[in-house]
């Protein structure tokens, strides 16, 4: 009897730590500005255009250096990009935004082919324009956003959500369903370009 009670208590304590204490411990670092996760805004634009000019393969003339701001996150492009110069700033922004959505948790961009998490519930979900798959919020896999790689469920594509497993389970869901440990590579898939 006491054994059952103490095991029960340990499980409840572990759950309380996982869902109440641990997220609360993480919160201050998220708001403190020390982490890499920027605060999402609604700004989507070409920023910091340089003085120099060049003509891009899309046919438009534009600055020979620029960055993009996507919902408050700065996207830089390397020297190789500006040497190959496939798209001017405006065309690149259009290309990047096509088929993209926003993370339901942090509000930052989720691009075509990015790995994603699915959340059925959670604090602050849906605060930003969100996408739902079978009633579950689509979230990004950024280190400071997704609480665990176990939420990795598939990839976001321009055709919609592509589940990792035929069952549609997340990694954790698949472990519970099959009883087998699951090993997968959770980084972004290689982009063609
Ligand atoms: Zn262009
Ligand atoms: Zn996120």
pLDDT at 102 over 90: yes
Å from CA of 189 to ligand 1 middle: 26
Segments forming the whole domain that contains residue 76: 44-97
The model carries a pTM of 0.70
Nearest ligand for residue 94 CA: 1
Find, among 146, 174, 162, 132, the residue nearest to 23 by Cα.
146
Percent of the chain with pLDDT over 70: 75
Number of structural domains (the chain) is: 2
Would you say residue 31 lies in a domain? Answer: no
Å from CA of 132 to ligand 2 middle: 14
Would you say residue 39 lies in a domain? Answer: no
Between 26 and 81, the more confident residue is: 81
Mean per-residue pLDDT, 36-55: 95
Å from CA of 69 to ligand 1 middle: 17
Å from CA of 117 to ligand 2 middle: 9
Per residue in 24-45, pLDDT (tens digit) is 444 434 343 445 789 999 999 9
126, 168: one domain: yes
Would you say residue 69 lies in a domain? Answer: yes
91, 48: one domain: yes
Find, among 19, 9, 48, the residue nearest to 121 by Cα.
19
pLDDT at 185 over 60: no
Å from CA of 92 to ligand 1 middle: 7
Biggest alpha carbon distance in the chain?
Answer: 78
């Amino acid at each position: 009897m006491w054994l059952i009670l103490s095991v029960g208590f340990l499980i409840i304590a572990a759950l309380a730590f996982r869902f109440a204490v641990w997220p609360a411990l993480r919160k201050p670092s998220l708001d403190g500005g020390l982490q890499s996760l920027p605060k999402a805004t609604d700004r989507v634009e070409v920023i910091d255009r340089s003085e120099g000019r060049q003509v891009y393969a899309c046919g438009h003339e534009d600055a020979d250096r620029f960055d993009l701001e996507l919902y408050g996150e700065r996207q830089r492009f390397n020297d190789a990009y500006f040497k190959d110069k496939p798209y001017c700033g405006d065309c690149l922004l259009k290309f990047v935004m096509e088929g993209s959505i926003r993370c339901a948790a942090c509000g930052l961009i989720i691009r075509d082919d990015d790995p994603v998490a699915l959340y059925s519930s959670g604090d602050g979900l849906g605060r930003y324009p969100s996408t739902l798959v079978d009633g579950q919020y689509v979230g990004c896999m950024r280190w400071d956003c997704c609480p665990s790689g176990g939420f990795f469920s598939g990839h976001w594509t321009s055709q919609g959500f592509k589940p990792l497993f035929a069952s549609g389970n997340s990694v954790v869901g698949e472990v519970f369903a099959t009883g087998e440990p699951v090993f997968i590579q959770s980084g972004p898939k290689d982009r063609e370009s």
